[in-house]
Amino acid sequence: MNWQHADASEFLKEKDWDHQLIHEGYSVGDAKRDNFDYPAPLDMTNISVNYDDDFLNTVYDTGSLPEVFVENVRQAMKTGEPGFSFNFGDKSNETLRNACAEVTSADDSDVCNLGSLNLANLATAEEVRDVADLATKFLVCGTLRAELPYQKVYSIREKNRRLGLGYMGVHEWLLQRGYSYEMNPELDWILDSVLETARSSARQLCSKLSISHPAAHTSVAPTGTIALLAGTTSGIEPVYATAYRRRFLAGNRWQYTLHVDSVAKQLIDSFDLKPEEIETSSDLADNPEKRIAFQADFQEHIEMAISSTLNLPAWGSEANNESQVMHLANLIAGYAPRLRGLTMYPDGARGGQPLTPVPYESAVWGRGEVHEEANDVCAITGGGSCGV
C-alpha cells in the first residue's frame, strides 16, 4: 500500500495482533502464542508500505519524517511488519513485488527466472566469471521452456525476460577470508564482475536466439532451503546463530532440541574460528546500521532488489523500545535512496518462533536431547491442532 493511501494508518496496525482484543485483557497475539493455529488477520502473508519520490520530496522540503513512516518503523520494531518498499527515480513504478522485495516490476503478471551462485564455493576470479556466464545462459533458456499459468504471463515474460541471478554463501565467503560483515574491495570487485558477465552473456545469447533482451539480470532472492541443501549461509544474511534452540510441535505440546549451526561448525573446525568471532544475525541485532549499510552497499550491484531480514532484539528491551524509534527511523530514511526494500523481525514477535539463539557450548553438550516446554498450545483457545 502506498504511504499516502487513505487507509495507510489503519493498514500499519493490521498485524499488530497484541492490540486486537478478543476479550478483557486477552488479545489475538496472546491467542496466537498459545495456539499457533489460531486465526489472525493477514496471517501467513507479508505486508509492506510503498515509499515513492513524493516521500523523499516531503522529507527534503520539510526536514522531517512523515508520521506514517515513523509509525511504520515503530510497528516493524514491535511486530516485524509492515516492511518497506522503496521506489524512487527511474524505479518509481516498480512497485509490484512481494514483501521480501527481490523481484521488482512495473508490469502486472510479470515473472522472473531466479537462480543463485554459491559464492562460498567460488575461489578464483575465473571461476566467478565462468559460473556467472553459465548460470545466466541457463536462466535465459529457462525463459523459453518454463510453463506458465496463463497467457498474460507469457506475454509479459516475452516482453521483459526478467532474470534474477543472485547469491548465497556470502557470509561464509567473508568468514573464510577473515572479513567482517561489511563491503570490502574484493567483494565489490566480484559483484561488479558478476553483473557485467550476466549482462554480457545474456546479451550475446539473446541476440543469437533473436529473442528479447532481459529487463533485469540480478536480484537476491530468499535462499533458506537451497542454502541448507548446499550447506552454506542464506543469501546475504549472516549466520543466524552459532547455536540455537529449535522449537517444534509434537501433538499438542511444544518441544525443543539444541543444535549447533552446521555452517558455523564447519567454519570453526576448518578455519580455526572461535564461536564468538562469528558475527551472527542475533549478535548484530544490537547494531542495525551495520546490517542496513551492508545491504545498501550490496544493492549497488543488484538491478532488482534484495531479500534480507534485519533481526532486532525483542520489543521492550534496552536496544529496541520507544526511545529508539526516531533513531532507527532516521537511520532507515538516510539509507532509503540506496535500498529497494527492508524487512525486520524483532525476537519473539510471533507465536511459534522456531529458532532462539543459545550459547554455543550449551548446544555442543546438549544437542540431540528432546525437551518439553511447560505450556500446552490447546490450553486456552482449542481448535487447530487440537482438532476442535
Q: Which tens digit of pLDDT belongs to each residue from 228-287? A: 899 999 999 999 999 999 988 787 788 899 999 989 999 899 888 899 999 999 999 999
The verdict on residue 295 lying in a domain is no
pLDDT digits (tens, 9 = 90+) for 179-238: 999 999 999 999 999 999 999 999 999 999 999 999 999 999 999 899 989 999 999 999
Domain count, the chain: 3
Residue with cell 529449535: 246
Q: What distance in Å separates the CA atoms of residue 333 and residue 59, rounded to the nearest whole number?
A: 9
Q: Can you state the angle between helices 325-335 and 67-79, rounded to 10 degrees?
A: 110
- Mean pLDDT on 72-80: 96
- Mean pLDDT on 368-381: 61
Cell numbers placing 243:
547455536
Residues 67 and 112 in one domain: no
Inter-residue contact 341 to 81 (CB < 8 Å) = no
Residues 13 and 45 in one domain: yes
- Mean pLDDT on 358-383: 69
Q: CB neighbours (10 Å) of residue 337?
A: 11
Backbone angles phi, psi at 83, to 5 degrees: -80, -175
The verdict on residue 290 lying in a domain is no
Q: Is the pLDDT of residue 375 over 70?
A: no
- State the DSSP code for 121: G
Q: Which of 39-43, 310-314, 349-353 has the highest mean pLDDT?
A: 310-314
pLDDT given at position 88: 96
Residues 161 and 253 in one domain: no
The verdict on residue 296 lying in a domain is no
What lies within 8 Å, CB to CB, of 371 at 6+ separation is 255, 256, 257
The verdict on residue 292 lying in a domain is no
Residues 43 and 79 in one domain: yes
The CA angle 362-364-367, to the nearest 5 degrees, is: 90
The CA angle 232-236-240, to the nearest 5 degrees, is: 65
Cell numbers placing 290:
551495520
Residues 353 and 373 in one domain: no
Q: Which residue has the higher pLDDT, 387 or 320?
A: 320
Residues 92 and 119 in one domain: no
pLDDT given at position 286: 94
> Lowest-confidence range among 29-33, 95-99, 135-139, 187-191?
95-99
Gyration radius (Cα) of the chain, Å = 22
- Mean pLDDT on 24-33: 88
Residues 324 and 374 in one domain: no
pLDDT given at position 141: 97
pLDDT given at position 24: 85
Residues 367 and 316 in one domain: no
Confidence of residue 103 (pLDDT cuts 50, 70, 90): confident
Q: Is the pLDDT of residue 382 over 50?
A: no
**C-alpha distances out from residue 142 to 115, 158, 235, 281, 343, Å:** 10, 12, 21, 34, 29
Residues 232 and 162 in one domain: yes
Residues 14 and 93 in one domain: yes
The residues facing 113 across adjacent strands are 163
pLDDT given at position 365: 85
**C-alpha distances out from residue 42 to 10, 38, 45, 222, 311, Å:** 13, 12, 6, 21, 21
pLDDT digits (tens, 9 = 90+) for 153-184: 999 999 999 999 999 999 999 999 999 999 99
Of the chain, the percentage scoring pLDDT greater than 70 comes to 95
Which of 186, 188, 189 lies closest to 178 in space, CA to CA? 186
The verdict on residue 329 lying in a domain is yes
Long-range contacts of 261-267 (CB under 8 A, 24+ apart): 262/231, 263/172, 263/231, 263/232, 263/233, 263/239, 264/239, 264/360, 266/231, 267/172, 267/175, 267/176
Residue with cell 544437542: 367
Beta sheet of 371-376, edge-to-edge order: 355-357, 243-250, 253-260, 371-376
Q: Which domain holds residue 61?
A: 1-101+307-357
Q: Report residue 109 CA to chain centroid gap.
A: 22
Residues 225 and 185 in one domain: yes
The verdict on residue 59 lying in a domain is yes
Q: What distance in Å separates the CA atoms of residue 131 and residue 193, rounded to the nearest whole number?
A: 11
Average pLDDT of the chain? 91
The verdict on residue 345 lying in a domain is yes
Write down the H helix ranges in the chain: 8-12, 28-34, 53-62, 67-79, 125-145, 151-160, 170-176, 185-209, 224-230, 262-271, 288-299, 325-335, 360-366
The CA angle 157-159-163, to the nearest 5 degrees, is: 55
The verdict on residue 288 lying in a domain is no
Residues 32 and 95 in one domain: yes
pLDDT given at position 44: 85
Largest CA distance in the chain: 68
Inter-residue contact 39 to 92 (CB < 8 Å) = no
